[in-house]
Amino acid sequence: MKIQFVAPQVQKNLIVFFDEKKRLLLPKDWPQELSRQWQAFLGLPEVKAESSSVHNLFHPLVERVFLVGLGKKRDFRELGGMLGKKLVQPDFSNLHLLLPEAPSHPIYNEIEPFLEGLFLGRYRYQGFKTKDNLPDPLSNLTFLAPKTKALAEAASLAWTKALATNQARDLGNLPGNKMRPKDLMAACKAAAKQGGLTFSALNETQMEKEGMGCLLGVAQGSEEPAFLNILEYKAGPKAPTLLLVGKGLTFDSGGISLKPGLGMQEMKHDMCGGAAVLGAMQIIAQLRPKVNVVALIPTTENMPDGKATKPGDVLTACNGTTVEVLNTDAEGRLILADALAYGIKRFKPSAVVDVATLTGACVVALGHYHSGLMCNDEKLYQQVEQAAKRTGDPVWRMPHAEVYDKEIEGTLSDLKNIGSKDGGMITAGMFLKRFVGEVPWAHLDIAGTAWSVERIPYYPTQGATGTVTRLLADLAMNWKK
């Protein structure tokens, strides 16, 4: 996308702001005819000034003008998302943003989240339709304002974050026959090459040598080979290391414990944790934080083949922990267990964050607004919480008291892969905690926020949301050991 600056002038596809008193924020020499017409529209009783709003009008001189109301309670990212959702016609590839004349106006300090919301809200998955009326990619954003370094940097940063998030959404939206484990590995390899990251991947033979029985146990029901993708960003030999682990189940049928058929097509989204980690690494590669970041994305399918793991089977993780599989549909924690234990042993991180569409219980507990958060370290919790607030990826902390450990204690093995039906999100997190030891650890369960979210304007109401992609990158950019 090209970002440019020109003097304020009448342009097509124009974005104009008005304040909580219904006053248009226009340059002094703006054409009075347009000003009067727009001001007359704002005078209508149905135009509310209390809350943020976006109004789409037609005028022969500008074709489309979007009057954006700032409202009294402003969330500029949400406002940008509301605007982006209005830009659904194919001819909105060139946008013109008219900024207030006074550079002291609050919008100058909030232009980055506003544009980020716009870029994210405008997203539509292109899919496989041969004929559709989807928006053209945004090719030009023109500021009708004097050029400043701060505005240019804010626009570039917003585009970088949104582009990576939208690419994570694209990966999450691909159907299972187009996004197989080898396809996710290829996407990781391509992203690493583009961003100058180090890439490697363990195949099944190498994982067997490492003793990754849990990951391989999930994979053995699929004809598609499994991989453990490894991407590394290196800030320097003396920098601390942050480990990110994302669940990359490219399709989850439930295995032998087969899921109901209704809605099973949504299980193509079960790799959204891995997509978020990959998207975060793309942002990190460009913004270059002062912390080493390693990303692990275990990827496989969970299928009900004759060779598939059966309920009651016992698997052994790479750290020697034995696990009785009571439900093969609780597979995400199994592949993450091996990835966590391997990553901590090999890379010795200062902290680790895992991301997964892990439990339906998280959706029951928190719905589709907050991602569930568990954390064993207060300092790390504060950093994740602050990153969530800065990026608008809401999280909510759940307990991890040791009393929940009893739920996952095995009878003929060290652990079992499910507890009772109560507190399922927490017991799944406690299972993962067994594989991180004393390392500061945070777990993000995105089962309720990974796709089809209605209450966040910059999230799509259908399809993958790319949630926590920007959160993870922000965490790295603001990392404090």
CA gap 449, 470 in Å, rounded: 14
Tell me the percentage of the chain whose pLDDT exceeds 70: 100
- Per residue in 35-81, pLDDT (tens digit) is 999 999 999 988 988 889 999 998 888 889 999 999 888 899 999 99
Residue 333 annotated among the catalytic residues of the structure: yes
* Domain-wise residue ranges, the chain: 2-144, 162-477
Taking every pair of Cα atoms in the chain, the longest distance, rounded to a whole number of angstroms, is: 81
Q: Which residues are annotated as a binding site?
A: 247, 252, 270, 329, 331
Residue 259 annotated among the catalytic residues of the structure: yes
Across all residues in the chain, what is the average pLDDT? 95
User: In the predicted model, is pLDDT for residue 345 greater than 90?
Assistant: yes
Q: What is the dihedral of CA 229, 233, 239, 241, to 10 degrees?
A: -20
- Per residue in 72-91, pLDDT (tens digit) is 888 999 999 999 999 977 67
DSSP H/E element including 430: helix 424-433
- Looking at residue 421, what is its pLDDT? 87
CA nearest 19: which of 78, 70, 74, 73?
Answer: 70
Among candidate residues 333, 416, 433, 434, the one labeled active-site is 333
- Looking at residue 401, what is its pLDDT? 86
Among candidate residues 12, 182, 189, 259, the one labeled active-site is 259
| Highest-confidence segment of 29-33, 55-59, 114-118 | 114-118
pTM (2 d.p.): 0.97
Q: Which residues are annotated as a binding site for Mn(2+)?
A: 247, 252, 270, 329, 331
pLDDT confidence bin for 15, thresholds 50/70/90: very high
Half-sphere exposure of 9 (CA within 13 A, CB side): 5
Which CATH architecture describes the domain 2-144? 3-Layer(aba) Sandwich (3.40)
Which CATH architecture describes the domain 162-477? 3-Layer(aba) Sandwich (3.40)
Q: What is the 3-state secondary structure (H, E, C) of 328-342?
A: CCCCHHHHHHHHHHH
User: In the predicted model, is pLDDT for residue 136 greater than 90?
Assistant: no
Please list, residue by residue across 262-276, b when 16 or more beta carbons sit within 10 angstroms of its beta carbon and e when fewer do.
Answer: eeeeebbbbbbbbbb
Decide if 178 contacts 268 (C-beta within 8 A): no
- Looking at residue 267, what is its pLDDT? 98
- Per residue in 300-316, pLDDT (tens digit) is 999 999 999 999 999 99
- Looking at residue 417, what is its pLDDT? 98
pLDDT confidence bin for 129, thresholds 50/70/90: confident
pLDDT confidence bin for 126, thresholds 50/70/90: confident
- Per residue in 154-205, pLDDT (tens digit) is 999 999 999 999 999 999 999 999 999 999 999 999 999 999 999 999 999 9
User: In the predicted model, is pLDDT for residue 481 greater than 80?
Assistant: no
- Looking at residue 177, what is its pLDDT? 98
- Per residue in 413-468, pLDDT (tens digit) is 999 999 998 999 999 999 999 999 999 999 999 999 999 999 999 999 999 999 99
- Looking at residue 402, what is its pLDDT? 87
